[in-house]
Structure 1
């Protein structure tokens, strides 16, 4: 099953679960909850740096061809609108092209490879509650989080030349987010969620096929996801 179909099935599953949730009277969404989300992920063009030199830029495929994000979270909603949460997430994208190739005299070339970001984040959201009718079922929110991400780059290849195997580092990360929740029932709610996710510089050491020297990069992504939340 390709990545585009996997993302579509995940989104359809979340929507389907929301439709099947019991249609009973809406109550205040307070207390503990668990949630799942999934959708598309954009990665900004990324420079690989070695010896203080940005020697190549990695360009990624568009989300519907390769990029997706998923996440699970547990949290607690408080009457004042604050909602602390612990979230684990996974993002994956494939490479499309290498640009500004300093070691090869410049220019661009088609490339291959995958980049993954597995993260654990401590988030704090602020819910805007008690909107007037007919918007009372809606809950806009904003916030962010701090945590760590494991960045993995694998299968790098350009012009038939392979650059090592799998390269991995664990780095601090932060995210900013916003979204809109919709109460379906006493225990179920759906959401449309946006995340801006960024890490500190990851260091991969020497990479086969390149001159000696620590290779580093920063990860910068944006995700748009559908979520389903169950209030315990």
Structure 2
């Protein structure tokens, strides 16, 4: 019941709509979070061996967890981070008033991947899911007045205390949402399953039995289910791009000598308004002294083929845009031998931006009358 309730709460948070679209992280970031920690019942055996009386059990009630991490985003969805974690849970038994607690603390190295739904699946929603795995080391500290049976029927009860360390691992599933108006700041919700291989830890948790005996107690595998809300801040973030400006030429008493034609992302096709601007440039070339028409194509610094091929792909895209404008000028009566075309790719942006930014005013062709 507790597990179903926590899963429902995390699902509702993930479904909450936000006005801004989450972004892929490039560069350094920090992340903090906390939430509900549910520890599965553990089994134990005295002295690290089965004494023939079976195994004892350690039950857990409610708990909480917190973590902080620093990491680096590689701009392609992959992230790597170092995390410090702390977990606490209540130990109990079904009868009696005895109680206690245990806690685990340590660190992980995590590798995560942000899923760009718009780029990968053309799903335009204001959320970026992410998945990840981590490996590290956790120390488990037990301080319990709860009477726990050391074995099966007829075995003595024990109070547990001590600290034990072991290898730990975790799986992570979550989602991130941009905070509107604050570039780089994101809210996160996530579920984590943390496993701790307690059986292979060094040293024992100690048990003081009611019959006067004492000794080491060896635990089996420990599982924590965690439901977390957090805040993450990425440092390398440009401010949001300004609203797209209409592709118009300001009115002037004489014909302009430079005209701008804008394009859709990853597109080279002319719109109706773009054709009107090309026609104005063609007509102006007959009214002013023109010896040569220069047509220069550009792109923004994003690409449909990210990675090493992106810059080369954008060079080709800028040439295709320049070719589209040249072909339209020729249809409007401009001689082909009077037109020079160039493709500059991501170079010479009209509007300076941060990396990997879709800026409409940088996806353009400039028509210059010389």
Matched, 1:223 2:226: yes
Deviation sequence 1:75-113 (CA, Å, 0-9, x none): 111122111011111110111216xxxxxxxxx766411
- The structure carrying a bigger helix percent of its residues is 2
- Structure with bigger RCO (C-alpha 8 Å, 6+ apart): 1
Q: Give the ranges of 4+ consecutive aligned residues of structure 1 lying more than 3 Å apart after TM superposition.
A: 23-28, 108-111, 210-213
> How many Å separate the matches in 2 of 1:188 and 1:26?
10
Structure 2 contact 20–178 (Cα < 8 Å) conserved: no
Q: Which residue number in structure 1 is paired with residue 135 of structure 2?
A: 146
Superposed, 1:1-232 pairs within 5 Å as 28-51=24-47, 52-53=49-50, 54-61=54-61, 63=62, 67-97=63-93, 111-131=98-118, 132=122, 134-135=124-125, 137-158=126-147, 163=159, 166-184=161-179, 185-201=182-198, 202=201, 203-204=203-204, 206-209=206-209, 211-217=213-219, 218-232=221-235
Whole-angstrom distance in 1 between the partners of 2:64 and 2:81 = 22
8 Å CA contact retained: 1:147, 1:173? yes
C-alpha distance in 2, partners of 1:24/1:205? 49
Give per-residue Cα distances to partners, 1:110-131, cap 9 Å, x unaligned. Answer: 6411110102000000110252
| Distance across 2 between alignment mates of 1:150 and 1:231 | 30
**Does structure 1 conserve the Cα–Cα contact (< 8 Å) formed by 2:158 and 2:207?**
no
1:58–1:95 Cα contact (<8 Å) kept? yes
Contact preservation (8 Å) 2:175, 2:190: yes
Question: Helix, strand or coil: the match of 1:194?
Answer: strand
Shift of 1:133: 5.7
In 2, distance between residues paired with 1:176 and 1:26?
Answer: 22
* Two-structure CA RMSD over aligned residues (Å): 2.7
Unaligned 5+ residue runs, structure 1?
1-14, 16-22, 99-107
Gaps of 5+ in 2: 1-12, 14-18, 149-156, 236-370
Instruction: Give the secondary-structure state (helix, strand or coil) at the position aligned to 2:146.
Output: strand
Shift, 1:58, TM fit: 1.1
SS at match of 1:163: strand
User: Distance in 2 between the 1:207 and 1:213 partners?
Assistant: 6
2:68 alignment partner, SS class: strand
Deviations 1:23-53, CA, capped at 9 Å, x for gaps: 9997653211001101000000011222423
Q: Deviations over 1:138-159 (max 9, x none)?
A: 1111111000001011023229
8 A Cα contact 1:24 1:186, kept in partner:
no
1:48–1:24 Cα change, 3 Å? closer
TM-score, normalised relative to structure 2: 0.48
